[in-house]
Each structure stands twice: as C-alpha cells, then as structure tokens.
Amino acid sequence: MLGLFLGGLYLFVPRELYAMHISEGILSLNWALLWWAIAILTLGLALRRLNFYLKEDPQRKAVFAFVTAFVFLVSVIPIPVPFAGTCSHPVGVAAGVFLLGLSGSIVAGFIVLLLQALLLAHGGLSSLGANTVAMAVVGSLSAYLVILIFSRAFIPLYMKAFLSGVIADWATYGVTALQLALALSEGEPWGSLWVKILLAFTPTQVPLGLLEGVITAGVVTAIAKRRSNLLITEVLKFQEGVTK
Amino acid sequence: MKKWCLLLLLILSLGSSAIAKTEHSEEKWRGFDEAVIERIAEEKGKKPYGLFSLEGDLELFAFALLSGIAGLLVGYYWRKLISENRDASCFTERTLSSSKGS
C-alpha cells in the first residue's frame, strides 16, 4: 500500500529528473581514489558486521531488502523546492539506520548508489566512492550518532527519528560540499570554497532536510506502532513507555 | 499519524506539481546537481559527464520503471514484515529481548 502510494507519488513530480550526486568528470583521479579507499574500508567493516547480523537472524534479510528498496525509491524522487527553484532528493538512510543499524544502512546505501550509477547514469563509477562516503557512510553515521546521543533522553520516538532524518540529510550534503571544495580548490583556500558551496546548497537543502525528517519520523513511527521489534536495540532500549 | 503523513505527502506532491506547472520554464526546477554542483565544477574548469546518456523520454521511462519496481518492493516487504506480522504490544519485555540479538 505504502509502496503503491509512493510509486503513484512519482507520477506527480515534474519531468526534470536529476539526482544529487557527484557525476563523472568532477573529481580528479587522486580524490576519486582517496574517497574510494575510504568507502572500501568502511564497506568491508560494514559487510562483515551485516553478514554476522543476518546469519544470527535470517529474518532480517527481508528488512534489508525493504530498506534497500526504500532508500532507492526515496533517493530517486526529485522534489521541487519552491524557495530555490530547483529539484533535489532526500537520502533515506536515516530510516535504514533505525531498522538495520549502521552497518546495514551503509551497505544498503552503497547498493542504491551503485544501481543508480549503472542503470540511471546518476552519479558515476569514479565518483561512487565519494558519493558512498557522503550518503551511505556519513548520512548513516550521523543518524546513528543522533540515536545514541538521544538514546537516554526521554523524548518521543518521532522526534528522535525527525532529528536523525534532518541531520543525516544535512550531513550528507555538508560532506558533498566538502568533497567538491577539496577537489575544486585549485589555488583557492578550500575552507572559503566550502562555505561558498554550502551557501549555494542552503536554499535547497535546508527545507529538503526538514522534509526528510518528516518522512523518517513517519516511517519509523508507523513501524514502531506495528512491529516495534524491527527497530534496533539502541532505539528500543530506553523507549519503553514513551510512545505508548 | 499514518493518515497525517500520507496527507502531507499528497499535499506536497500536488502542491509542488501545481507550482511546477504554473511557474515552469527552461531554467526553473532543474536538478540540484545541474543547477549548483555542475555549475561550480564548470566554473573551475571541470566538465561533468554521465556514464551514458538517456535521451528524450528514455530517461523518464528508466526512472518510472525503476521507481515503480522499487515501490512495489517496498510495498511487498511492508506487507510481509508489517501487515502480516502485526504486533500490537509495543515495547514490551518480549520485543526488547527479541531485538537484543540483532
């Protein structure tokens, strides 16, 4: 039902279909290799952890499939932002963190980015490492940190999910801006270029991050009300009684 | 909560669609990558390109097809995980202990 609805939602968006990833030709070989190295290292650790996790509880494979499809769907919908006059998309990994933890969300994010590069020419293969670090790794890590920071705080689950979604989105685009600044700052201080790119990102990404928070809160709350045991332990540990 | 989320999504989609239709021009509603990232890259002498190009409505077809498949998968697993295994007892000792293994 939700999938059909989201699929139908796609029909309403305008026809300029672009995703927000760094494409081929922007990063120099050195930077592309560096981001690939970081991505491979992180993916190796995440895959090892996820493999252990799925062997321990094979039923989680369905959760992994759900999260991967969800992140793919959310991150190909270009949402028009009236303030900026451009379209951009949420990242969706924060909801993945609530269901699969850090490792599962990182792997799901990488699979999504790989499929988008190969099937839709969005992003690229040389820039896949950079996009993986920004969206899958930093997006998931920031959402996970928000969960940990607020794990002992007795604030409602929807608020934790909202904050995770917002921070994951903003952190992803903050790191994308940093990657661009580092790669393109030839003769210019990278710090000032980073600020310049962040300012260019702001009109689109600030409202979009808030929307991502709402989406994350909606999905996480809907799941918590129906099958709370699908959420990771870090979320549940201090949650008893809060959303009753 | 679910109804509010669905309503919000519907309003956003219809609202943005209406705005896009009334204010649409060649320069408006471009993708963020094209409008911001690629412009910055081009200013710095880089020429972004795609792995391959999907011309005309082929791009729309590819996005619609893959989004549709992803939507169906989300719906299928939602039903499998949530609707067919509904657990009304939120945050009980049982759910806490069963999730500790994960």
A169-197 pLDDT, tens digit each: 999 999 999 999 999 988 889 999 999 99
pLDDT in the model for residue B87: 52
Does A124 contact B at CB distance below 8 Å? yes
CB of A174 within 8 A of CB of A166? Answer: no
Q: What are chain A's domains?
A: 26-231 (1.10.1760.20)
Query: Which A residues in the span 127-156 are in contact with B, Cβ-Cβ below 8 Å?
Result: none
B9-54 pLDDT, tens digit each: 566 555 554 444 444 444 678 887 777 888 888 888 888 888 888 8
Phi-psi region of B86 (alpha: psi -120 to 50; beta: other; left: phi over 0): beta
- Distance to chain A for B45, nearest Cα, Å: 9
pLDDT in the model for residue A55: 93
Facing B13 at nearest CB: one of A12, A119, A125: A12
A86-145 pLDDT, tens digit each: 888 899 999 999 999 999 999 999 999 999 999 998 888 999 999 999 999 999 999 999
Contacts A56 to B, Cβ<8 Å:
101-102
Instruction: Choose from B5, B26, B74 for mutation: most chain A CBs within 10 A.
Output: B74
pLDDT in the model for residue B78: 94
Question: Could you tell me which chain A residue has the CA closest to the CA of B72?
Answer: A3
- Distance to chain A for B96, nearest Cα, Å: 7
A189-227 pLDDT, tens digit each: 999 999 999 998 899 899 999 999 999 999 999 999 999
Mean pLDDT of B73-79: 95
Q: From CA A210, how far away is CA B82, in angstroms rounded? A: 26
Q: Which helix (H) or strand (E) holds B60?
A: helix B57-81
CB of A57 within 8 A of CB of A232? Answer: no
Say whether pLDDT at A34 is over 70: yes
The residues pairing with A81 across neighbouring beta strands, listed in sequence order, are A86
φ/ψ of residue A126, rounded to 5: -70, -30
Contact yes or no for A80 and B29 at CB 8 A: yes
Say whether pLDDT at B101 is over 50: no
Say whether pLDDT at A153 is over 70: yes
Give the amino acid at A12.
Answer: F
Question: At what angle are helices A190-226 and A93-120 packed, to 10 degrees?
Answer: 120
